Amino acid sequence: MSENNNKNLPLYAVIFAAIAKLYFLLTHHIQEDAFITWRVAQNLLDYGVIGFNGDTKISASTTHLYVFVSYFFNLIFGKENFIEPLLILNTVLFTIGSLFLAHLLLKNPWHKAIFIFLFGFLPPSIKISVLGMEYGILFFLEMALLYYGFKKEKKWVLIIFPVLILFTRIDTVIFLGIVFLVDVFWNKKVKWSYVLGGIFGISAALAFNWFYFGEIVNNTIVAKKLAYDRIYTLHQDLEYFRLNYGNLWGMLKMPGEFNPFTIVIALFELLCFIFLIRQREKRNYFLWIIFLFAWTKQIIFLSQKSLFDWYYWVPQILLFVPVLIFVLEQKVKRNWWLASLIIFYILPMLAFQTIHSIATGNGEWNYRRSIGLFLNMYEKDKKQWILLEPAGYIPYFSGLKTIDEVGLVDKQIQEEIKKDKPNYLLNTVKKRKPKYLLSYNNLFEGKNRFYYQTHYKLLNEFRIKNHLQSDNKILEKIYKLKPSGTDYNLYEKIKD
């Protein structure tokens, strides 16, 4: 193969990896919170307001930039057809981001091509690409900042990209901060254009929140902190970490409290990182950035009791980067190392994610979406309210105004949590009188049963067991192997 074709190998890998990954679209595995962002985008389209329920402003989505991107995709493709094009964009941007990462860390075009492909089929990479969240765009922006801003030393990138990154997620201040610290330590000087970009980025994000929503911090952060806040002792903190690190630090969730698989992989990642930085190459600068960022973000979010999977996707794949480089650059028995990695890790992880996506897609798209579609057909008045949790699929497909139990999409419930947290749901129902209640529990049992029996009737029971059948026997086995979904009871207010 000619030298020019060799140089193009990474680009070919980007195209091939992006196309190959699109089969995951068939699983309909889309993250619940993506539908919150998309409803916010459609609310902007319909009412001209960034909100969730009509003309009420609220930062119900964690990401501002992705709301605007989703808005334009709704505008261009229509509400019925925008999802697939947007997921394709996320996949392409993530894969281009992996190309930038390969350019930062590898020299050999073949190594870059193999890296892009294997990196792209790790479970978190698949989830970043096709689950509908903002991390495809975010990963692209972060890797572009490192490549063009710190490798190619484009000053305009150092100023503009921090603004875009922080406008995507405010918690990216962790990433930008680690980059700054490593750069100062490594180069013994300050890149003032980058400092300016950071100041602009923080100022733009906070100013937008303040002048548009009247708040400094996104409502989603405030709501989660309020709803999930608990006081822990040091012993409880350590126990909490022990119980949860394995399912969030690694790529494979396992039942039980002890996850030896994650420990083995974490140790191997650390050993590979140490082996690589001992080589004293220029790329160590970027290895330190991605490895320190990944560890820092994991520790911060675990310490803050943040158990949402998507916070850990980018750190999970970045921690695995030294393993891929270590294997690709083996001088002795490299093919053996590579074959072992593919056979014993990449392919099993790909199979795991495929089964997981098929099962979860059934539980979310086929089951939870059906509840929203039922309500959409049953209730024609879209000004009616429903109280439920979570606020993704069902509000999106029902079209009803929504009160979620955490307060992500409705601030009034946060006031009830502050007043009387143990009874805030009942107090909200009494005060707001939503027409529909959707609950995991049987509301006609328990201490508040008399109120619910008096004012509401059971309209429908939704059971996940009724959605575990398929004409395809393989799919049916997967559905039953890993049933995904929660039983719901739907209540309708009795007319006065």
Tell me what pLDDT residue 63 has: 92
Long-range CB pairs of 364-367 (<8 Å, 24+ gap) are 364/28, 364/29, 364/30, 364/32, 364/393, 364/484, 364/485, 365/28, 365/29, 365/30, 365/393, 366/28, 366/467, 367/462, 367/464, 367/467, 367/484, 367/485
Q: Which helix (H) or strand (E) holds 403?
A: strand 401-404
Looking at per-residue pLDDT, the higher value among 391 and 263 belongs to 391
Provide the 10 A C-beta neighbour count for residue 393: 22
Of 29, 56, 169, 58, nearest in space to 409 by CA: 58
* Residue 37: HSE in the Cβ half-sphere, 13 Å Cα cutoff: 26
- Name residue, tokens 């941007």: 93
Distance CA 162, CA 155 (A): 12
Separation in Å, CA 5 to CA 156, 186, 227: 31, 35, 55
Distance CA 56, CA 49 (A): 7
Whether the pLDDT of residue 325 is over 70: the answer is yes
Whether the pLDDT of residue 140 is over 60: the answer is yes
* Residue 448: HSE in the Cβ half-sphere, 13 Å Cα cutoff: 14
Give the residue-averaged pLDDT of 171-190: 96
Q: Among the ranges 178-182, 406-410, 492-496, which has the highest mean pLDDT value?
A: 178-182
Percentage of the chain surpassing pLDDT 90? 80
Tell me what pLDDT residue 242 has: 66
Burial 140-152 (b: 16+ CB within 10 A, else e): bbbbbbbbbbbee
Distance CA 361, CA 248 (A): 20
* Residue 304: HSE in the Cβ half-sphere, 13 Å Cα cutoff: 14
Lowest mean pLDDT among 240-244, 407-411, 420-424: 240-244
Tell me what pLDDT residue 375 has: 97
Whether the pLDDT of residue 487 is over 70: the answer is yes
Longest dimension (CA), the chain: 80
Mean pLDDT for the chain?
92
Whether the pLDDT of residue 114 is over 50: the answer is yes
β-pair type (456-462, 488-493)? antiparallel
Separation in Å, CA 165 to CA 65, 138, 198, 476: 9, 6, 10, 41
Give the residue-averaged pLDDT of 309-314: 90
Domain extent listing, the chain: 367-493
Q: How confident is the model at residue 297 (pLDDT cuts 50, 70, 90)?
A: very high
Tokens of 218: 């996104």
Whether the pLDDT of residue 435 is over 70: the answer is yes
Residue type, 404: D
Helices 313-328 and 109-120 cross at an angle (nearest 10°) of 140
Tell me what pLDDT residue 434 has: 97
Whether the pLDDT of residue 252 is over 80: the answer is no
Tell me what pLDDT residue 306 has: 79
The sign of the torsion formed by the CA atoms of 139, 142, 147, 148 equals: positive
Give the residue-averaged pLDDT of 31-54: 96
Q: Residue 191: which residues within 8 A CB-CB, separation 6 or more?
A: 158, 183
Whether the pLDDT of residue 119 is over 90: the answer is yes
Percentage of the chain surpassing pLDDT 70? 93
Whether the pLDDT of residue 2 is over 70: the answer is no
Q: How confident is the model at residue 171 (pLDDT cuts 50, 70, 90)?
A: very high
Give the residue-averaged pLDDT of 462-485: 91
Residue type, 154: K
Cis check for the bond before 123: say yes or no (omega within 30 of 0): no
Could you give the 3-state DSSP secondary structure of residue 150?
Answer: helix
Tell me what pLDDT residue 246 has: 62
Tell me what pLDDT residue 253 has: 65
Tell me what pLDDT residue 1 has: 45
Give the residue-averaged pLDDT of 415-430: 94
